[in-house]
């Protein structure tokens, strides 16, 4: 049955169980799910409502197998997200969702997986990693490239450290700029490309980050022999409803909230990076 928007426009009120500051401008909220329960697929998002201030689309960054909590990792950009950063444990927030398409992890069993995250783009990709790591034998080689502005902006630091120690996961981190003391790579995410080895016949790539970053990453992947139908991207547009009715998120014929945010690149190649579309 189709959900009725009457219900879908009214948020469920969820209690904040944990508030964790990740970096200076990024934080993670752990919410207890509404009574009806909550489940999602990696790549989907919720509309989060800050009481009296407004609502914003935020991807879900938790483990899809964990139905006991809803996890969002948020970078404070605008009025609503900045106010959300002042939330505390036990306070409440409105949740509508989950909305949108997801990374097709079930269809990619047996494949090598390349994840490329730019900035907060790591958040919607983290559920993919959770899923793969719990089902590790079902996937081939797994590689995560993560680019941030500075070392201080790196999100999920502890987790990344522990993932680094795994032999079944290759992980490369880079920052745009760093002071002394950073021993990792400096440069945009594409500067990591020369050192990675992909099997172009068996790899599926999932990209999430600024469009310009995805654009250059796609160029590099194309050079490495990946076709557009092996690359998934997550798009971002202005969203008001999340359900394909308000029209704000249109990207040509698509509604990013409903037909996206995750798209197979070959399906939207003609729309991607089209100026002022």
Partner 1 sequence: MTQNPVKLADEVVIDRDDLQQILDVLESDGYQTIGPVIREGVMVYGELKTVFDLPVGWTDEQGPGSYRLKKSDTPTLFGYVVGAQSWKKYLYPSVSRLWRSEREGNGFSVIEEKDQFPAYAFFGARSCEISAISIQDRVFNNDKYSDYNYNEIRRKSFIVAVNCTKPAGTCFCASMDTGPKAFAGFDIALTELLTNKRHFFIAEAGSDRGASVLSRVTFRPVTKDDKALALGVHQAALRQMVRRLNTSNLAAIFSDHFDHPQWEKVSGRCLTCGNCTMVCPTCFCHTIEDKTALDGLYAERWRKWDSCFTKDFSYIHGGSIRASEKSRYRQWLTHKLVTWVEQFGTLGCVGCGRCITWCPVGIDITEEASVIMQAPDGVSPSI
Give the residue ranges of the annotated binding site for [2Fe-2S] cluster.
241, 246, 249, 257
What is the spatial distance between Cα 105 and Cα 132, in angstroms, rounded to a whole number? 8
Question: Which 225-254 positions form the footprint of ligand FES (CB under 6 A)?
Answer: 239-242, 244-249
Q: Which residue, 213 or 249, is less far from ligand FES as judged by CB?
A: 249
Structure tokens at 122: 């790591």
Determine which residue in the list 27, 156, 255, 272 makes contact with ligand FES, applying CB under 6 A: 255
Q: Which residue, 209 or 242, is less far from ligand FES as judged by CB?
A: 242
Which parts are annotated binding residues? 241, 246, 249, 257
Q: Which helix (H) or strand (E) holds 143?
A: strand 142-148
> By CB under 6 A, is residue 265 in contact with ligand FES?
no
> By CB under 6 A, is residue 257 in contact with ligand FES?
yes
What is the spatial distance between Cα 235 and Cα 251, in angstroms, rounded to a whole number? 9
Residues forming a β-bridge with 99: 45
- Stretch of 10-18, 104-112, 164-172, 189-197 contacting partner 1, by CB under 8 A: 10-18
Q: Which residues lie closer than 8 Å to 209 by C-beta, 6 or more apart?
A: 116, 117, 118, 119, 121, 147, 189, 217
Question: Which 74-93 positions form the footprint of partner 1 (CB under 8 A)?
Answer: 77-78, 90-92
Look at the block and give the residue holding tokens 């409903």: 258
The residues binding ligand FES (CB under 6 A) are 239-242, 244-249, 255, 257
């Amino acid at each position: 049955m189709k959900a009725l928007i009457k219900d879908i426009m009214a948020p469920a009120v969820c209690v904040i169980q944990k508030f964790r500051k990740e970096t200076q401008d990024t934080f993670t909220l752990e919410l207890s799910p509404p009574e009806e329960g909550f489940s999602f697929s990696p790549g989907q998002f919720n509309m989060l409502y800050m009481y009296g201030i407004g609502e914003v689309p935020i991807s879900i960054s938790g483990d899809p197998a964990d139905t006991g909590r809803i996890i969002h990792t948020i970078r404070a950009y605008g009025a609503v997200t900045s106010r959300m950063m002042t939330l505390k444990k036990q306070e409440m927030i409105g949740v509508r969702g989950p909305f949108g398409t997801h990374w097709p992890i079930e269809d990619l069993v047996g494949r090598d997986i390349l994840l490329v995250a730019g900035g907060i783009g790591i958040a919607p990709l983290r559920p993919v990693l959770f899923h793969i790591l719990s089902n590790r034998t079902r996937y081939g080689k797994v590689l995560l490239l993560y680019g941030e502005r500075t070392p201080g902006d790196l999100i999920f630091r502890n987790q990344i450290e522990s993932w680094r120690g795994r032999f079944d996961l290759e992980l490369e981190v880079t920052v745009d700029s760093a002071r002394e003391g950073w021993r990792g790579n400096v440069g945009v995410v594409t500067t990591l490309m020369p050192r990675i080895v992909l099997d172009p016949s068996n790899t599926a790539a999932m990209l999430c980050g600024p469009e310009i970053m995805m654009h250059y990453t796609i160029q590099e992947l194309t050079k490495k022999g990946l076709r557009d139908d092996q690359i998934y991207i997550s798009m971002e547009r202005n969203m008001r409803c999340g359900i394909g009715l308000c029209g704000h998120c249109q990207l040509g014929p698509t509604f990013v909230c409903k037909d996206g945010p995750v798209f197979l690149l070959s399906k939207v190649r003609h729309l991607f990076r089209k100026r002022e579309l």
